[in-house]
Chain A
């Protein structure tokens, strides 16, 4: 029982980290559908740097690549005001493709010094609390939420809408990058193409399920973690084909979206901000 709970938390940690990252930018009004690709490329960067310079620097590299990709997405969604959904999907394809291409030489190489999973789990929990405080208790959080709800009003009050959105995408990207680093440095200390296995999409769905609240995301992530744990436990011991288990996270996302499709999203979510229009 205790083992089950621990595994649930460890399975849920990458989902939690990635979903906090997506949540942060969505509260500022920017949809990030690139999570899956950002996670994959961060995982690769973390692994590659960890091989050369140790796991601590590797984790930093993962966060750095995540932030870079978040800001890169911002160039299109914030400055150019392009379609956020299409831009996110393009970043997802780009990240998955680039990681598969550049990661070929690391395939099957074990990591010499993995990081402890529990450390990441505690960090993720701490970050969720910090994000809760940041959003609801700080001035930056107030700006961020106002930008996500009513950017025009925020702009009139002197808030730099584009700046706040870039900040949210950068910080959020860093969290997504940390999720990637957790996968390749601690959870499965190695690199394989497609190792994110749909967790990024689960994370995006969790943001909606958690109604854009960091603390609810914690419970949601651990609940998903428990389901994944049960999936691994049951696999092989019940007469259900393994493909059905592999398809489960994706089915779960569809169910979650259908059950919580009409929860209240930030008002300006997905809408580019154009001054004077």
Chain B
């Protein structure tokens, strides 16, 4: 019996493999729910409950916004071979930049634009450091960007508990409320901040065109496909990597601006700003297989999981960590199915 490569799997086999791995994921998740002391069926029902009403759908949409922005940037970065795992930290840096503009600069009609510029810029700068360390010193960006998440986390904790702590918030750990000019308009009485949603859709489309319709995109794809060929062609690999990384950081920074200017209206503790968007967006990007346009589909799907995780937390007082479990299992199922469908079992030696 041998396990060997199957270069051209049939569509049926691919679908079957993905279905099998998805079923295994649900099974493993069910075992965990059961071990925690909750009926798995009830938990699954709650996980999908946001689909049931317009309020739930608005919750999904609200969570789709950061996933869309970050996910389309990451889809590009992954395609180029820059494994930016630090979107969470870049999002937080974007929130910090936005809060600085909103709280400490004179406000006016330019405030929101300036918030996006400073926040996005900080996000790009943050990942830019990791990209530079990789290009200059060969430090793996997987680990450096991951470590930067923790650095940004503690920076935000320090700011909201220390120098930026609001004057009118008593014991709470957050800044004062942003002025009117620094608040994004929302759709109706939901928490869906429209301009950021639009920005996310535009980002997915623009990056897709950039990647597949321009010379720069061609160079990016060559570099991602085969760095050696890129070197023979005389492409400037370091610059290409830096640019792709910075773009993904810029979009993650935008996502952070959207969260504080559209939902919280102040800078607060990092775990409340983000809900793990940075990590979940990795899934959205990986699911989209390096095609920014496909993130338009995968981001809402993962938005649903985040909203469902929130429902689990609220009605069963389950720790929000449950989202990590769902995300981890889904990611494993995904790469497992992807790899398994490319192989076949052969009954001979």
Contacts and interface: CB of A to CB of B under 8 A. Distances in A.
Nearest to B162: A241
Interface secondary structure of B, over-half rule: helix
Interface in B58-103: 83, 85
Interface in B292-343: 318-319, 321-329, 331-332, 335-336, 338-340, 343
Contacts of A87: 332, 335
A98 B32 contact: yes
B325 A94 contact: yes
Given A97-B323, A257-B133, A277-B5, A102 B335 contact: no
B245 to A, nearest CB: 15
Contact of A251 (B137, B147, B335): B147
Nearest to B321: A100
Contacts of A16: none
Category for how many chain A residues contact B:
35 or more
B202 to A, nearest CB: 28
B338 A250 contact: no
A132 B284 CA distance: 42
B322 A85 contact: no
Interface stretch (B110-118, B151-159, B210-218, B226-234): B151-159
Interface in A218-248: 241, 243-244, 246-247
B189 interface: no
Interface stretch (A1-9, A49-57, A73-81): A73-81
Contacts of B329: 90, 94
A276 B324 CA distance: 37
Contact of A276 (B4, B279, B318): B4
13 contacts: A80-B343, A89-B85, A90-B328, A95-B328, A101-B321, A101-B322, A193-B321, A201-B147, A243-B158, A251-B147, A254-B144, A254-B147, A258-B137
Given A94-B332, A97-B324, 6 more contacts: A76-B335, A80-B339, A97-B327, A101-B322, A204-B143, A241-B162
For the complex of A and B, list the 8 residue pairs with the smallest distance between their C-beta atoms, beginning with the closest.
A97-B324, A94-B328, A100-B321, A261-B138, A93-B328, A97-B325, A243-B158, A90-B331
